[in-house]
Amino acid sequence: MSPEQKNLAEQGAAALAGAPFDRSDAQDGGGASVLRGITRRYYAMWWGYAFAGGFLYGIYPLFLRSRGLDQFEINSVLACYFVVMFLTDVPTGAFADAMGRRRSFVLGCATRTAAFAVYFFAHRFAVFVVAECIDGIGTTLCNGAIDAWGVDALDAAGFAGIKDRLFSRISQLMNFGFMAAAIIGAYVADIDIAAPWLLGAAGFILAGAAAFPLMREDHRAGHGAAALIGGSAQITPGRLFAVVLARVAAGLRQGLRDRTVLMLSSASALTFAAWAPYWLEWPQIFNDRYGVGIWIVGWLYCLFTVARMLGAEAVARIGVSSRDRGARLSAIVAVASPLLFVGGAMAERPTIALVSLFVMNLAAGAMQPLTQSWFNERIDAADRATLLSFNSTFATMGGSLGLLAAGRVADVFGIPMAWKMGALILMMAAPCYWTVRHAGAMLEPAPAIS
């Protein structure tokens, strides 16, 4: 986030400080001001969290390779992270629903800080796996907490309409955070390839601290853990565990019963299976082909990120109707898949591959706000974090299977062949969007709040 956006977020937080949230404010002359304040705090939290994690973007697979891991082992480390997320994402989402999104986020930031410290000292495959498992738990504690808090706060304040433009702006701010951190991390990695882990740990400490003033939960009064357990102020671990289990079961039942939620989650699984290996492999391809230093990976990451931002901006400006989302997403996937295939086929000619992957990232950027907004509008506020985690569970399981398969293919046949396989997997997501194309929420786009 730029300094100007940070100042706006701080002003929004200050505007809400000192008094409990009152929904009636959204219905008087101060309603627009309340919505702007919540939106700016929402933006600030996402940018800070993105910046903290961005120092490793691009250099992560190069770091693992420098410590002696082959491609299958590199992919396996990240697959372990996805498996941990698969096992813990829904329970931690339920924890966020029950105990509060801010508590979940702060605990997640602390856990990720510890994981990054372990990574800094790791030299063996087993230690990398341990670090990834810790980081997976931390990620799931954060996963969905910011969106669940922000969307519920906006809804309680009277926000009306679909949120494509809101999520497009969030995607752009996150990408600014990722780019700034990635460039810093890449140049630092040219000096010491392990040092970006320390930068990331410091970033998560700051993000967790920022949650205390920014993630206000006044709109959840009466919906905390005590209320969920029956109004008792005495909260025991056993009673909390029972509440979390009940929420997990309800979330899984609702997710499997709702055809649209299930199809959107299945599409997430397929897209992650296709793209997760690519995320680990493109830095190695271009670092090896160009051979000018690790710093180039940071700038190429920015190039791909700008492409995703342009795709998200196109969605914000065009304002895709809710009834057209399924068809648009199907068409975008149909374009992105052959572009990934071309990237693999032209890997020996890196500039051509670079152009193809740039356009593919345009498509990926357009997909994110469409899918994010569509999914959020299909679920109730009380179970939002749980069902966001249900969707993430599908995505991470798909990603872990894709990583293992692509890692073996890359070691035997090379990274370009793994990209061609990923392109075929990605194409399979198009029918998932197409089958539920008539299930869009029948709301008109709301004006963007800046």
Tell me whether residue 385 is in a domain. yes
pLDDT-based confidence at residue 318 (cuts at 50, 70, 90): confident
Q: What is the CATH number of the domain that holds 340?
A: 1.20.1250.20
Instruction: Inform me whether the pLDDT recorded for 24 exceeds 50.
Output: no
Tell me whether residue 450 is in a domain. no
Tell me whether residue 446 is in a domain. no
CA nearest neighbour of 381 among 91, 57, 97, 164: 97
Tell me whether residue 445 is in a domain. no
Mean pLDDT, the chain, whole residue set: 80
pLDDT-based confidence at residue 23 (cuts at 50, 70, 90): very low
Burial of residue 36 (number of CB atoms within 10 Å: 0-12, 13-18, 19+): middle
Look at the pTM and tell me if it is higher than 0.85: no
Tell me whether residue 234 is in a domain. no
Q: What percent of the chain has pLDDT over 90?
A: 43
Higher pLDDT among residues 77 and 27, named by residue? 77
CA nearest neighbour of 288 among 355, 362, 353, 337: 353
**Residue numbers of the domain that contains 403:** 3-18+30-229+240-435
Give the pLDDT of residue 161.
Answer: 63
Q: What percent of the chain has pLDDT over 70?
A: 78
Instruction: Please tell me the least confidently modeled range out of 50-59, 77-86, 114-123, 165-174.
Output: 165-174
- Total domain count, the chain: 1
Higher pLDDT among residues 297 and 252, named by residue? 297
Give the pLDDT of residue 82.
Answer: 82
Tell me whether residue 442 is in a domain. no
Strand partners for 162: 445
Tell me whether residue 23 is in a domain. no
Instruction: Inform me whether the pLDDT recorded for 158 exceeds 80.
Output: no
Tell me whether residue 447 is in a domain. no
pLDDT tens column, 255-266: 787 788 888 889
Phi first, then psi, for residue 125 (nearest 5°) are: -55, -45
Q: Furthest-apart CA pair in the chain: how many Å?
A: 65
Whether the CB-CB separation of 375 and 441 falls below 8 Å is answered with no
